[in-house]
Amino acid sequence: MVPSCLRARPAVGVASTRHLEACGSLDGAGASRRYPPPSHRRAGRCELDRESAVTRVVRGLGWTLIVAGAVVLLYVVYLLWFTGLTTDREQRDLAEEFTLNVPAEPSDTGDGTAPDDEVGEDEPIELGDSYAALWFERDGERIVNDDVLYMVEGVSLDVLRRGPGHYPESDRPGGEGNSAFAGHRTTYGSPFWALDELEQGDTIHVVDRQGREWVYAYVEQRVVQPTELWVIGDDPLETGAPTITLTTCHPRFSAAQRLIAWGELIGDPIESTADGDAEERDEIVDS
């Protein structure tokens, strides 16, 4: 018998190869494992690098969109909330101005017209100064806006931040022509947010600087282009009746068009609600 120490042994390389062939497969099927050559390993690393680059780009784009969304949200909050606070303070100041300017007893000639020495084209009102008070009613209830709106002279962007503004080239409230006003729809207090909700039978009330309350019956509304300036002309409805015109942006959150609402004057100025609104003005100033 040949001693075990003298028995022939397979070469190490052959045994290793047989071992790999027998159990080197990952799926247990006996297929031998093959290691990729260096060129294949380099290709794999390039593929991983490309995937990492795409991941970085996607992640960066995602963060950019998140930041942009946050900026847009903050801007919307600024437009709808912060500008409203600014206009609220301006309205309080205008209420005080208006209270000081309006006499204790409304003046009236008895025929529904204003005396020439009290109201007329010769009475200058500075741009941005208090001009009149405005509100809307339906069956005695306040509509469109819960508050009395204090209006200013002028319709520039800076002026309209204080409240609705009077077109300087248009007639005064109670005049024989067209008294036209503009107001924001969605920012700076949104005074004309619900202007499109006016219906037949609603009334538009304006108190001028002489303390007279002029009442207009709502007639109709229309959507026009910003260039259609005829809407604030002397007789836009072509009825010959004293008219009030209210303009605002349309649709909401857009300035693409203009929403126009018209009313026609009802009789002489009245005093029935002027005193009540004077009390309301005092409450606003004191609050």
The answer to whether residue 245 sits within a structural domain is: yes
CATH code of 228's domain: 2.40.260.10
The answer to whether residue 157 sits within a structural domain is: yes
User: Residue 144 pLDDT > 50, yes or no?
Assistant: yes
- Looking at residue 121, its pLDDT comes to 45
User: Residue 191 pLDDT > 80, yes or no?
Assistant: yes
Task: List CB contacts of 31: < 8 A, sequence separation 6 or more.
Answer: 24, 25
The answer to whether residue 96 sits within a structural domain is: yes
- Any idea what DSSP says for residue 176? S
Taking the C-alpha atoms of residue 244 and residue 129, their distance in angstroms, rounded to an integer, is 20
Percent pLDDT > 90 in the chain is: 54
Taking the C-alpha atoms of residue 51 and residue 263, their distance in angstroms, rounded to an integer, is 67
Cβ atoms of residues 238 and 262 within 8 Å: no
Token pair belonging to 211:
């303390």
- Looking at residue 67, its pLDDT comes to 82
Domain of 163, in residue numbers:
82-286
What ranges make up the beta strands (E) of 1-148? 130-138, 141-143
Q: Which residue has the higher pLDDT, 225 or 107?
A: 225
User: Residue 36 pLDDT > 80, yes or no?
Assistant: no
Q: How confident is the model at residue 117 (pLDDT cuts 50, 70, 90)?
A: very low
The answer to whether residue 74 sits within a structural domain is: no
Mean pLDDT of the chain, nearest integer: 80
Token pair belonging to 58:
């996607």
- Looking at residue 61, its pLDDT comes to 84
Q: Which residue has the higher pLDDT, 276 or 78?
A: 78
pTM, whole model, 2 decimals?
A: 0.69
Percent pLDDT > 70 in the chain is: 66
Q: How many domains does the chain have?
A: 1
- Looking at residue 43, its pLDDT comes to 58
User: Residue 126 pLDDT > 60, yes or no?
Assistant: yes
DSSP string, 48-90: HHHHHHHHHHHHHHHHHHHHHHHHHHHHHHIIIIIHHHHHHHH
Indicate the range of 45-54, 116-125, 224-233, 250-259 predicted with least confidence.
116-125
The answer to whether residue 177 sits within a structural domain is: yes
- Looking at residue 63, its pLDDT comes to 83
Q: What mean pLDDT do residues 30-54 have?
A: 61
The answer to whether residue 3 sits within a structural domain is: no
The answer to whether residue 233 sits within a structural domain is: yes
Q: Which residue has the higher pLDDT, 230 or 287?
A: 230
- Looking at residue 103, its pLDDT comes to 76
